Amino acid sequence: MRFGIFLYDGVEPIDLATFGVLSMARRIAPQIEICTIAPRAGLVTLANGLKLTADYGIDDAPSCDLVIVTGGPGWSVQAAAPATLEYVRRVHAESRIASVCTGAMILAASGVLNDGPATTKREVVPPETSPLEVMRATYPQIDVTEAMLVDRGGRLVTGGGVSLCIDTTLYLLAGMLGQHVADETARIMEYRRAWQANRDGFAPLVTEL
């Protein structure tokens, strides 16, 4: 089972926790494969200068069972990039797609979130504007919801901000490989209590069947 992580210049490094959770999950489910995808293969410069190498560009990216679109300050450039938006639409049509943090703003710009609920990052440092409020004002076709994550039938999932990318990835693992895989991954990450606390204390997830 192949998971793709979509990256771009300006992604927040903490959103790489999506890769980290999947890396830990391979100890439980070794059939997991992980690749990184960017607008172009090769060097990607994340927020504050961290550099990494993307395995594939969107033109040669392999078919994935799930693609997770990450977030960060660079989202606004990608939300205006026709090739990225077309890639998002193509993945959505062919398989599963999810976003974490402001990656949802890219999904919103592509149109795949129209006519249903979605969430994104909400907390910011003033005078920044909450991406949740930006989504609400910019995309009236979306039912913007404060939630840990929003699952629209399993094929389209939007996660909340920043560290909630961990919870979103665990949730995706549960849906695709079983609750046992997600629970065991959370255990070996020593994240079980945090995951439960987030589910108990944050807005409930919304599921649209």
Rg (Cα) of the chain, in Å, rounded?
16
CA atoms of 172 and 158, how far apart (whole Å): 11
Amino acid at 60: D
Nearest CA to 119 out of 127, 130, 169 is that of 130
Model confidence pLDDT, tens digit, residues 104-161:
999 999 999 999 999 999 999 999 999 999 999 999 999 999 999 999 998 999 999 9
pTM greater than the 0.85 cutoff: yes
Q: Residue 82: count other Cβ atoms within 10 Å of its Cβ.
A: 8
The CATH number given to whatever domain includes residue 24 is 3.40.50.880
Residue with tokens 């995808």: 37
The number of distinct structural domains making up the chain is 1
Per-residue pLDDT tens digits for 174-202: 999 999 999 999 999 999 999 999 999 88
Among 141, 158, 140, 138, smallest CA distance to 208 is for: 158
What's the residue count for the chain?
209
Expressed as residue numbers, the domain containing 133 is 2-207
Q: What is the pLDDT of residue 208?
A: 65
